[in-house]
Structure 1
Amino acid sequence: MVEDRFEMPAPSVEITTAERRVMCVILAEGRSAEIDATLSEAECAARTEALRRIAARHGGRLELLQSQRLLVALSGVEAPTDLAARAAHCAIALRAELGGVPLSIATGMAEVAGRLPVGALLDRVVQLFPQRPRPPESGIRLDGATAGLLARSFDILQVDERSWLGGPKEEPDSVPRLLAKPTPCVGRERELLQLAAEWRHCVDEPSASAVVVVGAPGLGKSRLAWEFLRERSEAAEVWIGRADPMAAGSAFGLLAQALRRAMGILDGEPLEVRRSKVLARVERLDGLGAKAQHVAAFLGELVRAPFPDEGDVQLHTARQSSMLMGDRLREGFESFVWAECQQRPVLLLLEDLHWGDLPTVMLIDAALQHAGSLPFFVLALARPEVHELFPALWSERHGLRIRLAPLPRRASELRHALPNKSLLQPRQNEQCVVCARSRGERY
């Protein structure tokens, strides 16, 4: 490869003023022998540039080390769980581009000197690097801190007491687990009563309602929602959408995910299968009548299951105008929600709305208004910055705003009480700091 190379800086024992921050570092083999042998010098340079773009897309900086290995450093002001998720997605993308080479990821406090992090974190990611014999299929080894931060959203494989990264979970865990057992939900009784009261009002009146639960990372928004849903999943049609930080702001992305889940549409399915699932879901709704085909066509636009527009003048015309398409999508979704609510209450859960998109927010706002006197319940979970992104979030609709505060001291003590704390003690102080930050605790 054509690239400037340099020695990794030697650890310094001097007291410095270098900045210390929580970082994730990824170490990767810079080449796959099977692929690299066939590449010309120009192709190697192009491939290196492609790797830089992957790192930059995930908010990282790539450096080529003298040992022919690649180092990607990621940092940011977000929660450590989000930082680790960025690093995991970046590592998966790098490995795909590099032809399945081994990688390692470590998370912790690090000083930055020049362009590279230095200190114990860099030593740790080097020590983690998979050696022969060939590592598990994942090929991405994790340190303890990174594995802990990713456990909710990614499959973590345990092989020979080592942690390896699997793929993203289809359904992230909403219930924290300790030694593989669910932890009790304590200290949120008041919020659960508020949610229950709003739900009863929505169903008994009936009337459409929007509840927004706001709280900092780690305060238990997802756990609160899970406890609430656990009591009502049999009594309602539940749709769940979880925003993807890597696709934040994508038009209708959050709502489309919720609808795809509700219709049982899977990634990679043939177009005809996706269309048939949309049609089947719509045709079971008696309230739509002659509008069923029209509603299905525009729901298909939302969930990436487009129908042919030959003979469908409305669909063909809408595809020529983004403004007209927006109107037709709104009408289709409003009709779908209305027909669903005629059969049973609909509960739409939106997780991580701060990574959502304005078109989704506006479409749900229109559906809340159109549903009016129907049991349509929207529960959105978000961090405080959601109000900066969507300042008037459903402000004209009936609903409730809940701001989660940190757990009271007594509840926190009960939550973290363990029969054998030594089993969970982190091996390094840096890992302890990172995990505490991810839980929103003081440290």
Structure 2
Amino acid sequence: FIVVSRGDRKYLRGSRDATSAHEPARTLLGRTTPIVGRDRELATLAGMWEECADDRVARAVLITAAPGAGKSRLRQELVRRVLQRDEHTELLVGRGDSLRAGSPFAMVADAIRRVAGVREGDELDTQRAALRARVERHVPVAQIERITHLLGEITSVVFSSDASDVLRAIRSDPQARGDAMRTAWVDWLAAECEHHPVLLVL
């Protein structure tokens, strides 16, 4: 499990297999192997993160390399350093799925489901409650219903159209639906960022 300390209390952040960024470090004969030859890349990434956290700005980084070049190991080390520097950082991790390759929100949906604790196989009402509870943490009261319902559209945690004027209006218009979902995602992420730094790993 992932446990963080805040003052004299400890909080459970989730299970280590729930986020790809928390994969166990590679070991050799029981000992963690250090990352080698990536000091420059790590320094660049760490510097960008410090700018984001300290100056409250957003930055995007795209890492590309051939298979086996060490992208996953670089990511693991960056996440370790970020969380070590600031335990209040919220880590959002979304994985791609070949079955959803055509969906523009697939990785975002995975990240939301993970951080909200929405589990496959749970009853729909349980998934709805988990999603709403996560939204309620930081979203202004007046926006909770809209953002919850639209994040539900992104994550396939479906709410009834009868419960929402917004859902009734957008479900017959694909363009409006896509725009509304994107706006809800940005609004939720902005609300999270108002309370703590957010590292989004896709």
Q: TM class, shorter-chain normalised?
A: 0.7 to 0.9
Instruction: Determine which of 19, 26, 33 is the counterpart of 1:183.
Output: 33
Shift of 1:246: 4.6
Q: How does 1:184-333 map to 2 (within 5 A)?
A: 184-233=34-83, 234-285=87-138, 287-333=139-185
Q: Per-residue displacement from partner, 1:129-163 (whole Å, max 9, x unpaired)?
A: xxxxxxxxxxxxxxxxxxxxxxxxxxxxxxxxxxx
Q: Which amino acid aligns with 1:213?
A: I
SS of the aligned residue for 2:140 comes to helix
Shift of 1:312: 1.7
Q: Per-residue displacement from partner, 1:24-77 (whole Å, max 9, x unpaired)?
A: xxxxxxxxxxxxxxxxxxxxxxxxxxxxxxxxxxxxxxxxxxxxxxxxxxxxxx
Instruction: Determine which of 169, 186, 189 is the counterpart of 1:334.
Output: 186
Shift of 1:170: 5.4
SS of the aligned residue for 2:60 comes to strand
The verdict on how the C-alpha distance between 1:321 and 1:258 changes in structure 2, with shifts beyond 3 A counting, is: same
Distance in 2, Cα, partners of 1:226 & 1:180 = 18
Shift of 1:313: 1.6
Contact 1:174–1:223 (Cα < 8 Å) also in 2: no
Distance in 1, Cα, partners of 2:88 & 2:72 = 20
SS of the aligned residue for 1:269 comes to coil
SS of the aligned residue for 1:342 comes to helix
Q: Percent identity?
A: 38
Distance in 2, Cα, partners of 1:246 & 1:308 = 25
Distance in 1, Cα, partners of 2:49 & 2:92 = 15
Greater relative contact order, per chain length (Cα 8 Å cut-off, separation 6+): 2
Contact 1:201–1:207 (Cα < 8 Å) also in 2: yes
Contact 1:238–1:347 (Cα < 8 Å) also in 2: yes
Q: Per-residue displacement from partner, 1:176-202 (whole Å, max 9, x unpaired)?
A: 333444321111111110011101111
The verdict on how the C-alpha distance between 1:296 and 1:257 changes in structure 2, with shifts beyond 3 A counting, is: same
Q: Which amino acid aligns with 2:45?
A: L
> Which protein has the bigger strand share?
1
Contact 1:319–1:325 (Cα < 8 Å) also in 2: yes
Shift of 1:245: 3.6
SS of the aligned residue for 1:316 comes to helix
Shift of 1:250: 3.3
2:5 corresponding residue in structure 1: none
Shift of 1:264: 0.8
Shift of 1:174: 5.9
Count, aligned residues: 181
Distance in 1, Cα, partners of 2:168 & 2:97 = 31
2:10 corresponding residue in structure 1: none
Distance in 2, Cα, partners of 1:217 & 1:311 = 47
SS of the aligned residue for 1:242 comes to coil
Where structure 2 has 5 or more consecutive residues not aligned to the other structure, the ranges are: 1-16
Q: Per-residue displacement from partner, 1:335-385 (whole Å, max 9, x unpaired)?
A: 1011100100111001xxxxxxxxxxxxxxxxxxxxxxxxxxxxxxxxxxx
TM-score, structure 1 length as denominator? Answer: 0.39
**2:169 is the counterpart of 1:348:** no
Say which one has the larger Rg.
Answer: 1
Q: How does 1:408-423 map to 2 (within 5 A)?
A: none
> Which protein has the bigger helix share?
2
Q: How does 1:386-405 map to 2 (within 5 A)?
A: none
Distance in 2, Cα, partners of 1:191 & 1:242 = 22
Q: Per-residue displacement from partner, 1:66-97 (whole Å, max 9, x unpaired)?
A: xxxxxxxxxxxxxxxxxxxxxxxxxxxxxxxx
- Superposed CA RMSD in Å reads 1.7
Contact 1:237–1:345 (Cα < 8 Å) also in 2: yes
Query: Which stretches of structure 1, 4 residues or longer, exceed 6 Å deviation after superposition?
Result: none
Shift of 1:267: 1.2
The verdict on how the C-alpha distance between 1:314 and 1:283 changes in structure 2, with shifts beyond 3 A counting, is: same
Q: Which amino acid aligns with 2:179?
A: D
